[in-house]
Structure 1
Amino acid sequence: MDLGLAVAGLFIGAVVGLTGMGGGALMTPVLVLFFGVPPLAAVSSDLVVSAVMKPVGGLVHLRNGTVNLGLVKLLMLGSVPSAFAGVLVIKALGDDETVQEVVKVALGVALLIATASLVGKAWLGMRDRARRHREGLPPEGSATGRPDVVLRPVPTVLVGVLGGLIVGMTSVGSGSLIIIALLALYPALHASQLVGTDLVQAVPLVASAAVGHMLFGDFQLDVTTSLLVGALPGVYVGARFSSRANGGLVRRALTLVLLASGLKLVGVPNVALGWCLLAVCVAGPLAWAWARRRAGLPATGRRERAARAGRDGRDGGDGAGGPRAAGDAADRSGSTAR
């Protein structure tokens, strides 16, 4: 038992419980960069830990009915066999230092792609809120919801194939990469269904990759056990506090950590890495405020929430527009009928 690994597992589990993301993208680079675990062993241990953690959240979403089972089946057709195949590809390359370096660089590239996908997901969500505001539609998650999506079998299976291959080789992408692909393929998918579907499809995907690494990878029981000791209570505590925590702040911090980890793994020197992170911290908020203004929203989320609260107060104080809004809607429908 390694106390340091258990503490790292506790922290990462809490992040996963708070945000629903960041498990593979955070745990593997932590093992490689801070604990000196070989990349192949880090990938193997991370996948086994994720295979134990993810079913918990998946069951919650299944009970709440926020899973598109048709999408899950299509993704599984591609991801489950390709995740196992990713392990075989790594095994076929060998186990010398060159292969370890290849896996390390591949992990860094996957982390940079995951970082870009998180930013893209936030941008698409912001643009959707702006569209709903302009069109006078109810907020995301209201009772009206959205219509059922029309499944696109071929591109969905291909997303599963590519995502499974990346997960099998690097342990990254079961959430962050596939969820952005689902956003692009199914923009009408309800936010809760998007998260639930992505989490449930990740269970067999990660399980397939974990079995492959236990059979053919560099699985280390002591590392995995230490991580699980911290990760399981961390996930539970994070999930309990997820409704109270500032999710936007946690996601921004997670994005910055993933960016730093990805750049470090691909070999960026420390000085250049520091300047890059400083530039992102300074220019990022300014660019995001500009993007929000272009989309028709206030420059910051705080102003957006204040404006929404003001509108709700004027309309009667409830999230659906209040009694006054309901009366106006009834008047409009009556005029239309007449």
Structure 2
Amino acid sequence: MTIDWILVAATFGIGIVVGLTGMGGGALMTPVLVLFFNIPPLTAVSSDLVAAAVMKPVGSVVHLRRGTVNLPLVKWLAIGSVPAAFCGVLVARAMGSGQAVQDGIQVALGVALLVAAAGLTVRAFLRLVERAKVRDGRAAPLPQDRPDVTVRVVPTVIVGAVGGIVVGITSVGSGSLIIIALMALYPALKASQLVGTDLVQAVPLVAAAAIGHILFGDFQLSLTLSLLIGCVPGAWLGARISSRAPGGLVRRALAFVLLASALKLLGVPTLTTGIVLVVVLLAAPLVWFVVRRHYGFPGFVDRQAAKARRAAKAEREREPAGQDAGGPSGH
């Protein structure tokens, strides 16, 4: 059994992306396997899903410990996604190669990812405008705490089912497709909660699809071991960064991964994709600097001040619990 260490290095980077953003596993892993390592598509999908079934829980444990997971959402998503994922494998087998169908799904998903990336950018801009209005006294202060999320059962189950079918057929969507839907259905979720909830709901979803591909796909143990050696520690590291990182940083990473995944799913050549991503990486901070200055904010965020504000907020949130614990009951 041969381990491909170049593949291990590549999957370590992908694992970090998955742990950090909750997405990019199938949308990045499968194209990397096919385009750079000449793995047959069905083999890539099967091995990617089995590796993801091991990788996803690693990142999920970190988020569960940090309290950045909405478990009721996970439950209703899983009710829809788990049976649908297994059925998706059967659908893929019934379609044969199904290349035209898979191409159509990937194009649609690529467009959705582009829309989501644009949506994150617009959301950040609108938030900046709101802060400027509050500062100038033209609007009421922004709420400091987000309201509790009320689960919308039927739409959530439908999202899980659609995501499960797509994952079962293509291995893409356990993070990318469902995280877009979660952003639309539950805008009150914080960035870290969005990532944590998506990672945990993907565990049973990917496990169901992986079992289906072991039984009916083209699973290869040696390839899967190479994927696991790289992506498991990567996912653990990425999840630790995500659970502690500021929401703005996670949202920027989400937008960047959405764009990268979309370009590959839409069939953009690798060189062109790389050029676009480098341009975005270099130009986006400059553009954001100009926008912030235009609205009267410092060009760069004062990280120390922001850290102090987060620490003060965390201290305020802990105070009631501390007072209760020190109460006279002693229980």
Shift of 1:86: 1.2
TM-fit CA distance, 1:130: 5.2
Partner residue of 1:258 out of 256, 261, 264: 261
Asked if the contact 1:83/1:168 (under 8 Å) is kept, the reply is: yes
Contact kept, 8 Å, 1:182 with 1:194, in 2: the verdict is yes
User: What's the CA shift string for 1:249-287, capped at 9, x where partnerless?
Assistant: 655653443243223x3xx56787688768867986788
Q: Which amino acid aligns with 2:123?
A: L
- Residues 1-338 of structure 1 aligned to structure 2 (within 5 Å): 1-95=3-97, 99-100=98-99, 102-103=101-102, 106-107=105-106, 109-124=108-123, 127-128=126-127, 131=130, 134=134, 135-137=140-142, 139=144, 145-240=145-240, 243=244, 250-251=253-254, 253-263=256-266, 265=267, 268=268, 298=297, 302-303=300-301, 305=302, 309=305, 319-320=312-313
How far 1:299 sits from its partner (Å)?
9.1
Distance 1:319 1:76 in 2: 36
Amino acid of the structure 1 residue aligned with 2:222: D
Which one-letter code corresponds to 1:65 in the other structure?
G
Relative to structure 1, the CA distance from residue 275 to residue 72 in structure 2 (aligned partners, 3 Å threshold; closer, same or farther) is closer
- Runs of at least 5 residues in structure 2 that lack an aligned partner in the other structure: 135-139, 316-331
CA contact (8 A) 2:84 2:165 kept: yes
Seen in structure 2, the aligned counterparts of structure 1 residues 195 and 35 have a Cα distance that, compared at 3 Å, is same
Q: Distance in 2 between matches of 1:25 and 1:129?
A: 30
Q: More deviation in 220-229 or 167-176?
A: 167-176
1:137 partner amino acid = L
Deviations 1:100-119 (A, max 9, x none): 46535644543443343244
Q: In structure 1, what residue type is equivalent to 2:102?
A: V
How far apart, in 1, do the equivalents of 2:102 and 2:288 lie? 33
The structure-2 alpha-carbon separation of the partners of 1:132 and 1:299, relative to structure 1 and needing over 3 Å to count, comes to: closer
Q: Is the 8 A contact 1:39 1:104 kept in 2?
A: no
Structure 1 pair 153/233, CA: closer, same or farther in 2 (3 Å)? closer
Deviation at 1:125, TM superposition (A): 5.1
Following TM superposition, by how much is the alpha carbon of 1:222 offset from its aligned partner in structure 2, in angstroms?
1.5
Partner of 2:148: helix, strand, or coil?
Answer: coil
Asked if 2 retains the 8 angstrom alpha-carbon contact of 1:83 and 1:166, the reply is yes
Deviation of residue 120 (structure 1)? 2.3
For the Cα contact (< 8 Å) 1:79–1:161, is it kept in 2? yes
AA aligned opposite 1:159: V
Q: Are 2:58 and 2:236, in contact at CA under 8 Å, matched by a contact in 1?
A: no
Counterpart residue identity of residue 264, structure 2: S
Other-structure match for 1:328 = none
- Residue correspondences, number: 305
Q: CA deviation at 1:244?
A: 7.4
The two structures, once aligned, show a CA RMSD in angstroms of 3.9
Deviates further, 193-202 or 16-25: 16-25
**Matched letter for residue 187 of structure 1:** P
Whether the aligned pair in 1 keeps the contact of 2:116 and 2:180 (CA below 8 Å) is yes
TM-score, normalised relative to structure 1: 0.73
Deviation at 1:176, TM superposition (A): 2.1
Question: 1:149, 1:189 within 8 Å by CA — same for their partners in 2?
Answer: yes
Structure 1 residue 223: deviation in Å? 1.1
For 1:217, the aligned partner's letter is G
Distance 1:70 1:273, change over 3 A: closer
Check conservation: 1:117, 1:177, Cα contact below 8 A: no
Moved more, 182-191 or 217-226: 182-191
Amino acid aligned to 1:123: V
1:230-260 deviation line (CA, Å, top 9, x unaligned):
1122223444555579656655653443243
Q: What displacement does 1:138 show?
A: 5.2
* Contact 1:67 1:197 survives alignment (8 Å): yes
Q: 1:108 to 1:218 in 2, by over 3 A?
A: farther
Check the 8 A contact 1:51/1:207 in 2, yes or no. Answer: yes
Q: Tell me the distance in 2 between the aligned counterparts of 1:240 and 1:148.
A: 24
Structure 1 gaps of 5+ residues are 140-144, 323-338
Paired residue type of 2:220: Q
Q: Could you say if the C-alpha distance between residues 137 and 318 of structure 1 is closer, same or farther in structure 2, counting changes exceeding 3 Å?
A: farther
CA drift of 1:203 comes to 0.9
* Structure-2 separation of matches of 1:169 and 1:253: 25
Q: Name 2:325's counterpart in structure 1.
A: none
Structure 1 CA distance, aligned partners of 2:237 and 2:276?
A: 33
Give, in whole Å, the separation in 1 of the partners of 2:296 and 2:178: 28
The residue type equivalent to 2:183 in the other structure is L
One-letter identity of the residue aligned with 1:220: Q
Question: Any idea what the Cα deviations from partners look like across 1:133-189, whole Å, max 9, x if unmatched?
Answer: 7342355xxxxx333222222111111111111111121221222122112112233
